[in-house]
Structure 1
C-alpha cells in the first residue's frame, strides 16, 4: 500500500513536467496583445522555463542531500502554482510579469524533473524501478498532451485563460503531501566512494548530445510555430 501511494505521488508530479509548453499555443496571441514588444522577448515566455529548469535540475541534486526530497517537490509545485496564477491574474499588465512567472515555472520544472527520477531511484529497485521509469515517461507525455489540449481550448476564449490549467498543481500538492513519505537525507561514506569511482561511458555522452540537439530543435519549433502561423494567416 505504501509503494502504491508513492507511485501515485511520483506520477502526479511527472504528469505536470511539461506544463510550461502550454505557452507555445498562445505566443501569437501574446504578441498581438503586447503591440511593439520585440518577438524575441515574447519567445522568452516559453524559453525561460527551460533555462531555469536546467539551472534547478543541477541545483536540486545537491539540495536533496541537505533537505528532504518531499519538501523540495512541494516547493517546486508551489512555485508552479504561484507562477501560473500570477500570469492568469496579472499577466496582461506587462510582458515582464509573464517573464517573471516563467521564471517560477522553470523552478518547478527543473526541481521536479530531477526529484521524480530521484524518488524512483530511492523507493524502487531492479525490475520495479524499470517499470516505474516506463510509467513515469508515459505520464510525462500523456500529461503534456492533455495539458496542451486543455490550454488550447481555454486560449480560444481568451489567451490569459490558458493559464487556468495551472490549477492542476493544487491536487498534485495535496497528493504529494498525503502520499509521499518524509525522507531524511543521509550520505554514507560508501555512497560517497561509489560516486567518486563511478564513470560515465561513451554511450551516455553520445545519448546526452543527441538529447541536447533534439531539445534545441524542439524549442526552435515550439517558439516559432505559433508566430509563423499568425504571420502566414495575415498574408492570406
Structure 2
C-alpha cells in the first residue's frame, strides 16, 4: 500500500460520507400515499415508479459501470453521481405538477446511486487489504443502510408538513459532495489491459457465477419487503401498517449492525459467507409463513436483516478474493446491477414459479413458500460454490 496513514484516513472518511447517501431514494417510500392523493388520475404503477424508477436507474448505470470503471477515473464519476442525486432530488421542489416528472427525477436519483455503490466497493477493494478491507466493507454497509434509516426517520415527520417538503432532504447531498471533492484523491486513469503477462480488466468467469448466485438470493429476499404488508395486514390480520413499518425498520437497523461485525463473521464463515447469509434468509422466510403474532414477525425481520447485511457486505469480500485488482471495478459493478435486477424482477419470477406449483398468487403466503424453496436451492449451490473456492483459491493475504 502506497498511501500514508493520513491519506487513508481521508479516503475512509470520504467513502463513508458518500455511503450515507447511497440509498437516499428510499425516502420516497413515505410519500407514496400522499403522491397518490395528489394525482388521483395516476395509476398505481405510475405512483410506485416514483420509487421504482430509482431502482431501474441504478440498475442501468451500475451495468454501464462495468465498462466505464475500466476507462475513466473513479473520483469524477463519484462526483457525477452525487450531482445527479442532487439534481434529481431537488428538481421536484420547483417542478412537481406531473407524476411523469417525479418518475423521471426518481430515475435520475437512482442513476446517481448507480455510480456510487459499485465505485465505493471498488475503492475499498483497491486501497485496503486484510482485516482493514473487511472492516471497511462492513462499515460501508453500515453507513449505507444506517444512513437510509436515519433519512427515513426524518422523512416521515417532514412528509406530514407536505410531501413536496421531503425533497428538501436532498440538500444533505451538498456537504457530502464537498467532502468527496476535497477528500478523494484523483486516481489514475485505468487501463483496459495491462502489459503482457499482466491481468486483463473485465469480469472473470468466477465473477459471473457469483453474480448469478446473487440474483437468485435477491429474488428470494425481495419477497419479504414486497409481501410482508399483505401478509400481516390482509392475509394473517395480525398487525397494521405501523407494525409493518417497525418490522422493515428492524431489517435496516440489523443490517447496519451486521456491517460492524463483518470481520468476525468472515473469520468464522470465510468463503461460505454467502451460504451463511442464505440460511438466515431461509429462516426468516419460514418464520413468516408460520407467524401467528407480530413478535414472530419481528424476529423474522431481525433474521432478514442479518441476511441482508451479510450478503451485501459479503459480496465485496468474495469479489476481493476471486478477482485481480484490475477486475474489482467491473465485477463489483456487475454484481450490484445483478442484485438490483433480482429485486426488480422478483415479483414476476416468484409469481411465475408459484403458478407452476399450483399456488394462488393472490395469497401472500404462497410467495413466501416459493421464496423459501429458492433459498433452499441457493443454500446448496452456495455450499458447493464455497467449497470450490476454498479448494482452488490461494490463501488469503494478510494486511501488510
**1:113 matched residue in structure 2:** 117
Q: Secondary structure at the match of 1:96?
A: helix
In 2, the alpha carbon distance for the partners of 1:17 and 1:72 equals 14
Q: Give the C-alpha shift of residue 85 in structure 1.
A: 0.7
**8 Å Cα contact 2:158/2:165 also seen in 1:** yes
Aligned position for 1:210: 217
Map 1:148-227; keep pairs closer than 5 Å: 148-187=152-191, 188-189=194-195, 190-192=198-200, 199-200=206-207, 205-215=212-222, 217-218=224-225
* Aligned residue number for residue 10 of structure 1: 15
Q: Answer whether contact 2:72 2:190 (CA < 8 A) is retained.
A: no
Aligned partner (choices 15, 22, 28) of residue 23 of structure 1: 28
Whole-angstrom distance in 1 between the partners of 2:67 and 2:225: 29
Worse overlay, 31-40 or 210-219: 210-219
Structure 2: segments with no counterpart, 5+ residues: 1-5, 233-239, 242-400
Residue number in structure 2 paired with 1:102:
106
**Relative contact order higher in (CA < 8 Å, ≥ 6 apart):** 1
Return the offset for 1:90: 1.2
Per-residue deviation, residues 131-187 of structure 1 (Å, max 9, x unmatched):
100111110111011110111111011100011111111001000000000011223
- What are structure 1's unaligned runs of at least 5 residues? 230-236
Contact 2:55 2:107 in 1 (8 A): no
Which residue in 2 is equivalent to 1:60? 65
For the 8 Å contact 2:84–2:112, the answer to whether it is kept is yes
| Cα distance, 1:219–1:13 mapped onto 2, change above 3 Å | farther
8 A contact 1:20–1:105 mirrored in 2 = yes
Task: Return the TM-score normalized by structure 1.
Answer: 0.87
Aligned to 1:32: 37
CA deviations on 1:59-80 (whole Å, 9 max, x unpaired) are 1131122211000000000000
20 and 121 in structure 1: CA distance in 2 versus 1, 3 angstrom threshold:
same
Question: What is aligned with 2:129?
Answer: 125
Q: What is the aligned-residue RMSD (CA, Å)?
A: 2.4
Q: How many residues align?
A: 224
Looking at structure 1, the residues matched to 209 and 75 of structure 2 have their Cα atoms a distance apart, in angstroms, of 33
Q: Against the structure 1 CA distance between its residues 220 and 169, is the aligned structure 2 distance closer, same or farther, given a 3 Å change threshold?
A: farther
Q: SS state of the match for residue 101, structure 2?
A: helix
Q: In the aligned structure 2, how far is the partner of 1:71 from the partner of 1:144?
A: 24
Deviation at 1:94, TM superposition (A): 0.8
